Amino acid sequence: MRDKKHVAGDLAEAIVVQHYIRKGWWVYTSPQAHQPADVIALSPDGEMLLLEVKKDSKRVNPGRSKSERINRVLNEQQKSLNVKLVYVDTDTQDLDLKMT
């Protein structure tokens, strides 16, 4: 049986791919397990996005009552390549693209 976290990650990536295909972009994914970007999206006007896809997860930190997003950090290689982080809510299929 597959790990639930891997299944959720695959689902999040599929949602991102579908989102950009519906916008009319060309979308590419990598067959490799370890790469700097999960998805490459190219718009018809020449805009290119390198995307690191993460399932949007929340937790309640100690001493708090409100749940907050578990923030992820890009590595130095991803930063140098201008990879963007995109959080995906797999229940609602909402995307939150972090442009900085």
Q: Which of 39, 20, 43 is nearest to 31 (CA)?
A: 39
pTM across the whole model = 0.86
pLDDT (tens, 9 = 90+) of the chain, 100 residues, equals: 888 888 999 999 999 999 999 999 999 998 887 899 999 999 999 999 999 999 998 777 777 778 777 888 999 999 999 999 999 999 999 999 987 5
Question: Where do the H-state alpha helices sit in the chain?
Answer: 4-22, 76-80
How many C-alpha atoms does 68 have within 13 Å on its Cβ side? 8
Could you tell me if 84 and 50 are in contact, meaning their C-beta atoms sit under 8 angstroms apart?
Answer: yes
- Taking the C-alpha atoms of residue 95 and residue 97, their distance in angstroms, rounded to an integer, is 6
